Amino acid sequence: NQTPLIIITPTYERSEQTAELTRLSQTLQLLIWAQMPLIWIIAHDSRVCHENVRALIDRKLGSNPFGNRQELQGHKNYNRPLVGTRLPVTILSAPMPSAFRDPERVRRFGLPRGVAGRRAALSWLIKHTRANDPGVIYFADDDNVYDLEVFEEISKTHRLSMFPVGLLQPSGVRGPIVDVHGRVIGFLGGRRPFRMFPVDMAGFAFSLALLHQKRPLMPFRATMEEEGFLRALGVDYGGIEPLANNCTRILVWHTMTAAPQVNSFQIPNPSGYSDTN
């Protein structure tokens, strides 16, 4: 009877992808163990999704969470696979339209990272759910760090909720400023003062009903994705539901993984091994 969480994750192939999706999928796995109703939509920024991605999500490790200690052998969970079971995931192919990758356009406007994926996931939801189905939607990029409590908080959302996100420039945190009456009166740390909602993608959640009602489109416009989307939802400051103890707690961080500078996958073989695999 709990509201299902609908997690939308745009992702794309690069050297860090497996590491990012390992962390996120195992965070979500903990929600499944806690019996939180969950739908995970992965939108892959390519025409076909590499088999590795599905294999990562679908894999079943034969290990058990209690180690090999003798006394636990009779435990009911002794042979329970640790990872990869029962993650209810839908993988969509959602390539960014090639026009947005045009170098001249990228130089002038930036790259709308993840927008094609989020849009595809929202269209999928409009098609495959009904307007009165329960559900709360959250955009969870593959590279952020999520405290499990952020998901508990999000599930309280009625229409549109907001909460702070840590590790963002320029002030270290971006999120709503809440007055003593629990009302949102402004925002902290937005880089662009003319924005109405200078928040991060990971700093808000909204109901499936609101999606059906407004059918908002996220603009293909770098740095204005949140603003365009939230304006299209048509909720003013008074309608924002502050979470995370009136936005005083940081439960999600905008971490960024540095890609290693790898210029060759050649394996040196000074000892002349016959098999370097």
Binding site for ligand UDP (CB under 6 A): 10-12, 45, 96, 113-114, 117, 141-143, 256
Q: Which is nearer to ligand UDP, 120 or 247 (CB)?
A: 120
Task: Compute the half-sphere exposure of residue 275: CA atoms within 13 Å on the CB side of its CA.
Answer: 1
Alpha helices for 160-258 (secondary structure H): 208-214, 225-233, 244-247
Say if residue 236 carries a ligand binding annotation.
Answer: no
Residue of minimal Cβ distance to ligand UDP: 114
Active-site residue identified among 153, 226, 227, 241: 226
Q: Which is nearer to ligand UDP, 113 or 195 (CB)?
A: 113
Q: Cβ-count burial of 74 within 10 angstroms (0-12 exposed, 13-18 middle, 19+ buried)?
A: exposed
* Smallest separation, CB 19 to ligand UDP (Å): 12
* Smallest separation, CB 170 to ligand UDP (Å): 15
Q: Which is nearer to Mn ion, 65 or 172 (CB)?
A: 172
* Smallest separation, CB 256 to Mn ion (Å): 6
- Residue 104 is a catalytic residue: no
Q: Which does 10 bind (CB under 5 to 8 A by kind): Mn ion, ligand UDP, none?
A: ligand UDP
Residue of minimal Cβ distance to Mn ion: 143
Strand order in the sheet with 89-93: 89-93, 38-44, 5-11, 136-139, 204-207, 160-162, 241-242
Among 115, 90, 127, 93, CA closest to 211: 127
Backbone angles phi, psi at 23, to 5 degrees: -60, -50
DSSP state of 201: G
* Smallest separation, CB 154 to Mn ion (Å): 18
Q: Which does 45 bind (CB under 5 to 8 A by kind): Mn ion, ligand UDP, none?
A: ligand UDP
Which residues bind to Mn ion, rule: CB under 5 A? 141, 143
* Smallest separation, CB 121 to Mn ion (Å): 17
Q: Which is nearer to Mn ion, 16 or 152 (CB)?
A: 16
Q: Which does 29 bind (CB under 5 to 8 A by kind): ligand UDP, Mn ion, none?
A: none
Q: Which does 11 bind (CB under 5 to 8 A by kind): ligand UDP, Mn ion, none?
A: ligand UDP
Q: Which is nearer to ligand UDP, 12 or 237 (CB)?
A: 12
Owner of token pair 């209810």:
88
Owner of token pair 């770098």:
222
Backbone angles phi, psi at 239, to 5 degrees: -95, 0
Q: Which residues of 112-132 are buried (b: 16+ CB within 10 A; e: fewer)?
A: bbbbbbbbbbbebbeeebeee
Radius of gyration of the chain (CA): 21
Annotated binding site for Mn(2+): 143
Annotated binding site: 143
Instruction: Report, as residue numbers or ranges, the catalytic residues.
Output: 226
